[in-house]
Structure 1
Amino acid sequence: MQVSEAFEFTHEDRKSIYQCIENSDGPISAEEVRESLRLDPSGFRHHVAILKRDGLVEERGGRLRATFEGSDEADEETFDAEGLSFTIRPAIETDRSGLVGVIRQVAGGKTYTVAESVADIIDHEETVVQSSPVRSRMFFVATVSDEVVGWIHLESPELEKLSHTAELTLGVLEEYQGHGIGGHLLDRGLDWAEEKGYEKLYNSIPSTNEDAIDFFEAHGGEIEAVREDHYKYEGEYIDEVMTALEP
């Protein structure tokens, strides 16, 4: 029996997309699927993101294939801390606007330059999570009532000499700090990095963001380098502090 016959889909368009991918002779381009079903691009991307999240579809090199695995509850973890319930899970395409907004809100107030550039990139690229021969990028988000309140981002160029390292950014909205969300996000990112074989993760932080530096040191990070006057913010020069973590 095909998965599309046994799995209970909550939307007919989503089922049609899965059936089209499932019935293809091999990996099929996303555009071929969308055009064959005559779906609008926005709705199509949303449904594909849900299928990816539920483990039914994966995308490589712009081509989709059915994975026949079904949903994996281990991908999503819910925590309760001091009266706050939050969930940590992989980011999906429909998180894009919330993710960009949270990163910009956190980064702007702390002059977190690297994170600001990440927000700009995902705001304009087609996919939030990326895996290609050139670059690999992963996001996990923290949500409260389905709203994104924090993130961890890990990214690495697929170059042999750098394949053991990845850059990370992490942040939580100020009103949700103090509940352990950042620690759980970091744990999730470290677990993922270890599974993928990374040996060291780097985070570049402006020296003025003392809370972030203290956070990483409290979670096992070490300061490996300081670049003096690396940033210029409102006419003032700010050092860059590079922290390193091992999964």
Structure 2
Amino acid sequence: MVLTDPITIDGDERERIYGYVEAHGAVDTRQARRDLFPQDPHGDPQHERAFRHNVAILKRDGYLEEGEDDTLRIAIDLSDEREEFSADDVDVTIRPASQEDLTGIVGAIRRVVEEMTSIEAESVADALDHEDVLLRHNDVESRMFFVATVDGDVVGWAHLHVPKLEKLSHTAELTVGVLEEYRGIGIGSGLLDRALEWALENGQEKVYQSVPSTNEEAIAFFEDRGWTIEAVREDHYKLDEEYIDEVMMAISP
């Protein structure tokens, strides 16, 4: 299943199963059955077969996948291609993120927000903390992440949010960031390139973001890579009792 594909699931019980898994990120198959159908007698072979049949159909149709540890998660058709490079004696991997990266991504976002103002990134971290789910694909939104890792630890991220509202479905909102000690060696550019490549492959015609005018480093970074300033909203943010302009930037992948 591609994150931009429409969701067309036949059957109320299958819709409930998919919705439960999508909202929880990764769930134990047995726990999902207990939570979704508490009225069914535990261990009843007939009810167990019916549940397993619905899961099998969702897997067949590309909506769910099940790991060897009996964990269900939404099946997202992502390239497993990893970009690996070395710079300044640092070995970096850039790849699609998974639910297991959630804690590392939130931690990286929080650290970057402390170092430089990023209102949108802070909002993303708050949403992840609240939902405890990384990737989303439902009738309202799709949410995609790429990560940069060093020795298995997340040191940077790129996030794309795609609304399902038809009038905006050709667009995607971006946040991207790298921990301060890993900047200047190509990680930010690599994450940005990977995010824009994904947006292009999935039919997004415009990628946009908002940056506080005080974040001059970020504005220069994006302008150097072809992004344009579409508008400036004066005094849009209020930070420490000071009003800050919002710089709205965009690019066509």
TM-based fold match above 0.5: yes
CA separation of 1:116/1:165 partners in 2, compared to 1, >3 Å: closer, same or farther?
same
Which of 202, 205, 209 is the matching residue for 2:211? 205
Partner of residue 145, structure 1 = 151
Change (3 A) 1:73 1:66: closer
Q: 1:240 to 1:85 in 2, by over 3 A?
A: same
- Give the TM-score taking structure 2 as reference length: 0.72
- Is contact 1:166–1:202 with CA below 8 Å preserved after alignment? yes
Where relative contact order (Cα < 8 A, 6+ residues apart) is larger, the structure is: 2
- Residue 161 (structure 2) pairs with residue 155 (structure 1): yes
What secondary structure does 1:189 align onto?
A: helix
- The answer for the alignment partner of 1:108 in structure 2 is 114
**C-alpha separation between the residues in 2 aligned to 1:65 and 1:100?**
21
Q: Distance in 1 between matches of 2:150 and 2:168?
A: 35
- Match among 58, 78, 83 for residue 84 of structure 2: 78
Counterpart in the other structure of 1:240: 246
d(CA) in 2 for partners of 1:219, 1:94: 31
- Structure 1: give runs of 5+ residues left out of the alignment: 1-25, 39-56
Distance 2:138 2:107 in 1: 25
Q: CA shift at 1:59, angstroms?
A: 3.3
Distance 2:232 2:203 in 1: 26
What does 1:25-174 correspond to in 2, within 5 Å?
30=21, 33-35=29-31, 59=64, 73-74=80-81, 76-174=82-180
* Cα offset, 1:109, TM superposition: 2.5
Deviations 1:172-194 (A, max 9, x none): 00000011000000000001000
Deviation of 1:246 after TM superposition, in Å, equals 1.2
Contact 1:108–1:116 (CA under 8 A) maintained in structure 2: no
Measure, in 2, the Cα distance between the counterparts of 1:182 and 1:204.
17
1:92/1:170 CA distance change after superposition, 3 Å: same
1:65-103, CA deviations, whole angstroms, 9 ceiling, x for partnerless residues?
889x9x9642x2211123211000111111111110110
How far apart are residue 37 of structure 1 and its match? Answer: 9.5
How many residues of Structure 1 are paired with residues of Structure 2 in the alignment? 199
**Where does structure 2 lack aligned partners over 5 or more consecutive residues?**
1-13, 22-26, 35-61, 66-71
Partner Cα distance (1:226, 1:88) in 2: 32
Q: Sort the Cα spacing of 1:36 and 1:227 in 2 relative to 1 into closer, same or farther, 3 A.
A: closer
Change (3 A) 1:108 1:59: farther
The one-letter code matched in structure 1 to 2:176 is L
CA contact (8 A) 2:80 2:95 kept: no
Distance apart, 1:34 and its partner CA: 2.9
